[in-house]
């Protein structure tokens, strides 16, 4: 037994030593691991864990950069920033206060804010009772008056620890719809979404700053030595080429077109400096308000209302989204159209510059021309006769003449000139979403394709491309690049970047360009198709056009939709200004560009040219009409003649008994003073004058004692032979004798 016990004790001691040794080695290895890991954390991972700790004890407050302004060329503000306010509540604090006081404080808050901010009380109460979120926005975008009312209410109700406000930055467009399609708009995060706001977003938005500070476990800020302040860098501002007055006049005229001609697919227009390519105005009907871009304009809203879709349905939502996207799109840059006869300027330029024809060459038109076995008609189906010059053919917009000079020019040369005028590439204007033209490939420009292309059909371009091409003819043959932003400036007004106008390449010779301009001017002032664009006292070159839409056909496979357009230009100082209008799907009976666009081009020139300092060759009288009642007819005529005022006398008497306009007024829109030598009844019933020649309507109206204002062609001398197409006072209306009545008049005897 002793021997066995001895052996047992010896084995136990041995085992214990082994275990102790193993444990010691393990502990040593673990200690070594810990030391190595600590060393790794202090060296290799030092930065990582320092940042982790730093993040836990610090917080960052963002300092928002102010978005730059957008200004017109005279530094008028088109887009800027403004301070608005957000009202929000702490739902959990409201719940706690309600439980503590036993008062229905949530209902009181909902009722008060709903009344102040015109909100639905029940909806607001549900939001306040939703304690799953800490911060519920009651309303944002409050103006100063609303904010003041809320602050006053919070103070009176003692709710400063439950209802809160904060200042926010919001984009503001002080002119509302003006230049909306050019400016675009921003999203809720102040990021540019359309127009210049999108194109120059990186420059406009600036760089946000931040305030970094340390905090303790309770979230309180630690001493200032732990804080870092990085100031925000405000965005740059854009000084554009837009002129607010010209933009306003353009928008007014295109809305007139939309209403007068019941246009289905919008109207758009551009005004450009022909020397530099600067865009003075660009507009599309109907403009939206960038301050509220997700609200449909009245035209789009009417389409949605009559769509037949149930409000809130998927179809309704999808259609509204498509209407919004159409409403936002800049038609002048982003959509294609067939330019029609306005392209004949390019066809003639190619023929003259290449030597294929001269303005004195003689042509004939029987009403059609056969090309490749296909008879292609002229707009004047009876023909323009024979033995007339190319100049006359251009003024009369004769299709067979264009087809014949295109044949002489040849497909390859014609194609090369189309390329020279910039139709095969984007203009590069500094606006987003510029579309690319669609034209025949060179090898596919066969005889029929060449013929239809010669008068602007069966290919598509953008409006900005068409105006840019015509501007090259207007300025003497030099290519220009259109642009909208003239300068980029910082917050102190210092120029950071400026547009550099470089001399463009010569497209056609100066003599050819001047010759075309001369012919187009004569067509406007004479009997050409663009005579509706005439402005007394100014030399206007213009070309009208009407094209078919072949991508939408009726049940019989015929095109029935039309696009009417007109392009015109005039000298201003050592440069010039060009205007183009495009009317997409007018639905009134007359759809020609000579009627739906040309008169409005004339209206625009009559407003823009004097504004730009171009003097009229005709001196207009601004003298007041003297009081002539009681004076003899001879004396009255002499007094008016001294002031350069025309007059018409009614009756066989010798003394003026009444007059229109009254004494002291200034005749507007070339109104003639009416002198009556016999008693006149107080009221007269308006008749229908639409469809009458101006001369007949004028005589009837003046005998009834009306004061006549002309619109469309605003000068009687130019308007003789024109037709009345609309009147401001409906037929059958009883009005006082001497009332002013506006007649819209155009020449309707010309297709293009």
CATH number at residue 656: 3.30.10.20
CATH number at residue 412: 3.40.710.10
Confidence (pLDDT) at 55: 56
Give the range among 235-239, 508-512, 746-750 with minimum mean pLDDT. 746-750
Give the C-alpha separation, 363 to 369, whole Å: 12
Whether residue 585 contacts residue 264, with contact meaning beta carbons closer than 8 Å, is answered with: yes
What are the φ and ψ backbone dihedral angles of 141, each rounded to 5 degrees? 80, 20
Asked if residue 521 and residue 384 are part of one domain, the reply reads yes
The DSSP letter of residue 498 is: E
Position 520 in a domain: yes
Q: What is the pLDDT of residues 6-27, one digit of tens each?
A: 455 566 777 777 778 778 878 8
Closest CA to 670 of 606, 614, 722, 723: 606
Average pLDDT over residues 267-278: 98
pLDDT at position 223 is 55
Residue 366: CB atoms within 10 A of its CB come to 14
Answer yes or no: do 514 and 411 share one domain: yes
pLDDT value of position 237:
97
> How many other β-carbons are positioned within 10 Å of the β-carbon of residue 525?
19
Strand order in the sheet with 267-273: 279-284, 267-273, 575-584, 562-572, 541-548
Q: Which of 148, 174, 196 is the last residue of a domain?
A: 196
Query: Do residue 12 and residue 78 come from a single domain?
Result: no
Percentage of the chain beyond pLDDT 90 is 56
Residue of 679, 678, 677, 673 lying closest to 638 (CA atoms): 673
Query: Would you say residue 295 lies in a domain?
Result: no
pLDDT for 734? 87
State residue 683's pLDDT score: 80
- Give dist(CA 325, CA 185) in Å, integer: 13
How much is the average pLDDT of 221-231? 58
Mean local confidence (pLDDT), 597-626:
88
Q: Quick check: 83 pLDDT over 90?
A: no
Predicted local distance difference test score (pLDDT) of residue 305: 94
pLDDT for residue 313: 95
Q: Is residue 614 part of a domain?
A: no
Characterize the bridge pairing of strands 374-377 and 368-371. Answer: antiparallel
Of the candidates 748, 672, 660, the residue with the CA atom closest to the CA atom of residue 715: 672
Least confident of 167-181, 218-232, 569-583, 607-621: 218-232
Is residue 319, in this structure, part of any structural domain at all?
no
Considering only CA atoms, which of 726, 728, 721 is closest in space to residue 707?
728
Q: What does the buried/exposed string (b/e) look like for 490-510 if buried means 16 or more CB atoms within 10 Å of the residue's CB?
A: eeeeeeeeebeeeebeebbee
Residue 558's φ and ψ, nearest 5 degrees, are -105, 145
pLDDT in tens, 535-553: 989 999 999 999 999 988 8
Domain count, the chain: 4
- Domain end point (choices 136, 165, 196): 196
If one compares 642 and 738, the residue with the highest pLDDT of the two is 642
Residues 6+ apart with CB under 8 A from 245: 611
Residue 665 banded pLDDT, cuts 50, 70, 90: confident
* pLDDT category of residue 584 using cuts at 50, 70 and 90: very high
130 and 31 housed in the same domain:
no
**pLDDT digit string, tens, across residues 160-210:** 888 988 877 789 999 999 999 999 999 988 899 999 999 999 999 988 876
- 20 & 116 share domain: no
Calculate ∠ Cα 748-749-752, nearest 5°.
90
Q: Quick check: is 324 in a domain?
A: no
Of 471, 462, 459, nearest in space to 551 by CA: 459
Classify residue 211 by burial, with Cβ atoms within 10 Å: 0-12, 13-18, 19+.
middle
pLDDT tens column, 341-350: 999 999 999 9
649 pLDDT higher than 70 = yes
Please identify which residue in the block is written with the tokens 């304690």. 131
Whether the predicted pLDDT of 3 surpasses 80 = no
**pLDDT, mean of residues 677-693:** 84
* Of 604, 617, 477, nearest in space to 542 by CA: 604
Q: Give the pLDDT of residue 1.
A: 45
Segments forming the whole domain that contains residue 17? 2-44
Instruction: Pick the last residue of a domain from 147, 179, 196.
Output: 196
560 vs 549: CA distance, rounded Å: 7
Assess whether 176 and 29 both reside in one domain. Answer: no
Total residue length of the chain: 752
pLDDT digits (tens, 9 = 90+) for 403-433: 999 999 999 999 999 999 999 999 999 999 9
Name the range with the highest mean pLDDT among 262-276, 621-635, 639-653, 656-670: 262-276
365 and 493 inside one domain: yes
Residue 315: CB atoms within 10 A of its CB come to 11
Evaluate whether residue 430 is within a structural domain.
yes
The DSSP code sequence of 624-680 is: PPPP-TTSBHHHHHHHHHHTT--EEEESS-SB--EEESPTT----TTPPEEEESS--
- Region 491-520: what's the mean pLDDT? 94
Lowest mean pLDDT among 310-314, 335-339, 687-691, 710-714: 710-714
Same-domain status, 344 and 492: yes
pLDDT in tens, 734-746: 887 778 888 888 8
Same domain, 36 and 91: no
Rounded Cα distance between 597 and 271, Å, is 14
Query: What is the residue whose two structure tokens read 């299709």?
Result: 399
In this structure, the dihedral spanned by the alpha carbons of residues 107, 109, 110 and 111, taken in order and rounded to 10 degrees, is 80
By CB atoms closer than 10 A (0-12, 13-18, 19+), residue 13 is exposed
Tell me the pairing of strands 58-63 and 77-90: unpaired
In this prediction, residue 336 carries a pLDDT of 98
The overall average pLDDT reported for the chain is 88
Range in 123-127, 330-334, 621-625 with the lowest mean pLDDT: 621-625
Write the pLDDT tens digit of every residue in 280-309.
999 999 999 999 999 999 999 999 999 999
* Cβ contact 734:704 at 8 Å: no
Under DSSP, is residue 376 helix (H, G, I), strand (E, B) or coil?
strand
Amino acid 716: pLDDT: 63
Crossing angle of the two packed helices 2-42 and 46-57, in degrees rounded to 10: 70
Q: In this structure, are 30 and 96 located in the same domain? A: no
Query: Quick one: which of 356, 382, 314 has its CA closest to 508?
Result: 356
- The answer to whether residues 39 and 72 belong to one domain is no
Angle of CA points 404, 406, 407, to nearest 5°? 65
- The tens digit of pLDDT for each residue in 427-462 reads 999 999 999 999 999 999 999 999 999 999 999 999
- Report yes or no on 657 lying in a domain: yes
Q: Tell me: do 36 and 73 sit in the same domain.
A: no
232 by Cβ neighbours in 10 Å (0-12 / 13-18 / 19+) ranks as middle
Task: Output the pLDDT for position 667.
Answer: 63
- Strand 673-676 and strand 647-650: the pairing is parallel
57 in any annotated domain: no
Are 671 and 739 in contact by the 8 Å Cβ rule? The answer is: no
Q: Which tops the pLDDT comparison, 696 or 31?
A: 696
Q: Rounded CA gap, 709 and 716, in Å?
A: 10
């Amino acid at each position: 037994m002793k021997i066995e016990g001895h052996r047992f004790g010896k084995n136990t001691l041995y085992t214990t030593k082994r275990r102790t040794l193993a444990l010691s080695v393990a502990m040593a290895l673990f200690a070594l691991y810990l030391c190595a890991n600590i060393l790794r954390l202090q060296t290799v991972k030092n930065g990582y864990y320092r940042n982790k700790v730093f993040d836990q004890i610090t917080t960052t407050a963002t300092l928002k950069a102010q978005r730059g302004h957008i200004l017109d060329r005279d530094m008028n503000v088109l887009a800027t920033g403004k301070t608005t306010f957000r009202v929000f509540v702490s739902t959990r604090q409201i719940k706690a206060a309600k439980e503590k006081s036993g008062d229905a404080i949530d209902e009181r808050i909902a009722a008060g804010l709903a009344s102040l901010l015109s909100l639905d009380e029940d909806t607001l109460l549900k939001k306040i009772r939703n304690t799953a979120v800490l911060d519920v926005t009651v309303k944002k975008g409050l103006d100063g008056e609303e904010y003041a009312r809320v602050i006053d209410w919070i103070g009176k109700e003692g709710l400063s620890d439950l209802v809160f406000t904060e200042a926010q930055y919001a984009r503001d467009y002080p002119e509302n719809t003006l230049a909306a399609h050019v400016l675009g708009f921003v999203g809720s995060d102040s990021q540019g979404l359309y127009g210049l706001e999108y194109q120059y977003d990186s420059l406009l938005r600036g760089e946000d700053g931040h305030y970094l500070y340390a905090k303790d476990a309770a979230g309180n800020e630690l001493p200032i030595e732990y804080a870092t302040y990085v100031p925000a860098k405000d965005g740059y501002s854009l000084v554009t080429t837009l002129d607010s007055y010209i933009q306003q006049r353009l928008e007014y005229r295109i809305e007139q077109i939309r209403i007068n001609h019941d246009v289905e697919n919008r109207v758009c227009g551009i005004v450009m400096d022909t020397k530099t390519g600067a865009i003075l105005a660009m507009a599309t009907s109907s403009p939206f308000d960038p301050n509220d871009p997700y609200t449909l304009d009245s035209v789009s809203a009417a389409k949605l209302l009559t769509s037949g879709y149930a409000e809130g349905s998927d179809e309704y939502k999808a259609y509204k989204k498509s209407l919004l996207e159409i409403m936002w799109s800049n038609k002048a840059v982003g959509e294609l159209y067939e330019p029609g006869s306005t392209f004949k300027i390019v066809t003639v330029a190619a023929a003259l510059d290449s030597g294929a024809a001269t303005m004195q060459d003689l042509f004939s038109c029987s009403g059609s021309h056969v090309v490749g076995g296909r008879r292609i008609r002229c707009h004047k189906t009876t023909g323009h006769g024979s033995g007339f010059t190319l100049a006359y053919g251009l003024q009369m917009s004769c299709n067979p003449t264009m087809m014949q000079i295109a044949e002489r020019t040849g497909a390859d040369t014609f194609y090369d000139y189309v390329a020279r005028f910039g139709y095969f590439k984007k203009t590069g204007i500094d606006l987003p979403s510029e579309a690319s033209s669609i034209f025949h490939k060179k090898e596919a420009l066969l005889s029929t394709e060449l013929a239809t292309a010669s008068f602007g059909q069966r290919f598509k371009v953008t409006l900005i491309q068409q105006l840019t091409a015509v501007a090259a003819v207007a300025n003497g043959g030099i290519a220009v690049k259109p642009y909208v932003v003239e300068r980029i400036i910082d917050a102190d007004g210092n120029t950071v970047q400026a547009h550099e106008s470089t001399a463009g390449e010569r497209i056609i010779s100066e003599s050819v360009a001047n010759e075309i301009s001369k012919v187009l001017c004569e067509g406007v002032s004479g009997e050409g198709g663009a005579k509706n664009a005439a402005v007394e006292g100014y030399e206007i070159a213009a070309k009208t056009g009407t094209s078919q839409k072949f991508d939408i056909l009726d049940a019989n496979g015929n095109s029935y939709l039309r696009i009417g357009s007109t392009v015109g230009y005039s000298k201003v100082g050592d440069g010039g200004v060009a205007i183009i209008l495009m009317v997409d799907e007018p639905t009134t009976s007359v759809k020609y560009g000579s009627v739906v666009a040309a008169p409005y081009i004339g209206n625009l020139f009559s407003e823009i040219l004097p504004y730009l300092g171009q003097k009229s060759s005709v001196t207009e009288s601004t003298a007041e009409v003297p009081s002539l009642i009681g004076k003899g007819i001879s004396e009255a005529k002499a007094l008016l003649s001294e002031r350069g005022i025309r007059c018409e006398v009614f009756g066989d008497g010798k003394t003026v008994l009444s007059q229109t306009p009254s004494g002291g007024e200034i005749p507007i829109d070339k109104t003639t003073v009416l002198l009556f030598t016999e008693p006149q009844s107080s009221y007269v019933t308006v008749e229908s004058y639409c469809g009458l020649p101006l001369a007949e309507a004028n005589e009837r109206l003046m005998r009834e004692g009306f004061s006549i204002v002309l619109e469309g062609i605003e000068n009687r001398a130019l308007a003789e032979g024109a037709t009345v197409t609309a009147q401001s006072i409906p037929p059958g209306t009883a009005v006082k004798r001497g009332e002013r009545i506006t007649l819209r008049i155009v020449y309707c005897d010309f297709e293009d």
